[in-house]
Amino acid sequence: MAEDPSHSHLGDHNGAHAMHQSGHHDHHDDAAFLETNRNHWNKFAASYSSEPWQKDMLNKINAFIYANINWIGVDFVDSATTFEATDPAQVRKVRVLDYACGPGTITYALGSHATEYVGIDLSENMVQAYNLRFNPAIKDANNEDESLNAHAEIGNLLTTEEPPAAFSGPKYHDFDLVVVGLGFHHFSDVRLAAKRLVERLRPGGVFLILDFVTHAMEAEEHPDVKASANTVAHHGFSEQELREIFAEAGLKDFALGRMGDEVYIRGKSKREPFLARGSKI
């Protein structure tokens, strides 16, 4: 995917799966905003893909990611070779941290291209949805998602203090890819967020965000829109700002690519998704 020179930013109102840790800007108390996020996405967990507009958006996002697997810049595994291997020790490992993972939209889109997924989310209900989705021991006949080596945990890595000791071990470091899908705009301090997450990458690993191209704030009165808007910390970033955020976090080879198509939020608000990536120096 060629880098797009036009401005891009991370939008608001995601209806799919953005689980959002961290506080808001000036006029919000961080702790209160954090709790607002947790409560909102706990409530939303049961219906993340129940409406036609949600399903359409998820299908387009999956196709967008799949079409740009090579562009992401990770040396993903060949799923056919991986599953044919007789000695697990000989399988090359590709580890992914799916941060603000929600019910696993990004994990599902990447699928068998990686050998291990660690999801972290603020919302306990979203973590439960993620684990129900990918754990073969608790799948049922109605769940057609593939089984993956994927497990999510409740947590917040974006605090100004040192991250919780529970996330200090090797399981939570040296990832080949750290990805935030439709959640970056909900982090109040995006520079801190990028730095905290890039710390989890191995040298040469890729930091990737999926979000929406710039759009105006909308003054809709729908209660779902109002509730979602209360979890939004940013309504826009220029490409230059993204470049700076990535560079300050210790990333090189910044690239941005737009979908070139739009999705509809609640059937009416148009958004164009984009991907932005950089490699850890």
Share of the chain above pLDDT 70, in %: 66
Confidence of residue 13 (pLDDT cuts 50, 70, 90): very low
Instruction: Give a yes or no: residue 17 inside a domain.
Output: no
Residue 271's contacts (CB-CB under 8 Å, 6 or more residues apart) are 11, 212, 213, 215, 262, 263, 264, 265
Instruction: Give a yes or no: residue 113 inside a domain.
Output: yes
pLDDT in tens, 34-66: 555 555 445 555 556 668 888 899 999 999 999
Instruction: Give a yes or no: residue 21 inside a domain.
Output: no
Instruction: Give a yes or no: residue 83 inside a domain.
Output: yes
Handedness of CA 147, 48, 102, 70 (dihedral sign): positive
pLDDT above 90: residue 5: no
Domain range for 76 is 30-280
Instruction: Give a yes or no: residue 213 inside a domain.
Output: yes
* DSSP reduced 3-state for 117: strand
Instruction: Give a yes or no: residue 8 inside a domain.
Output: no
Instruction: Give a yes or no: residue 116 inside a domain.
Output: yes
Total number of domains constituting the chain: 1
C-alpha 120/C-alpha 101 separation (Å) is 6
Name which of 117, 263, 249 is nearest 187 in CA terms. Answer: 249
More confident residue, 145 or 269: 269
For residue 123, the domain's CATH number is 3.40.50.150
Instruction: Give a yes or no: residue 108 inside a domain.
Output: yes
C-alpha 176/C-alpha 216 separation (Å) is 34
Question: Are β-strands 201-212 and 269-271 bridged in parallel, bridged antiparallel, or unpaired?
Answer: unpaired
C-alpha 41/C-alpha 95 separation (Å) is 26
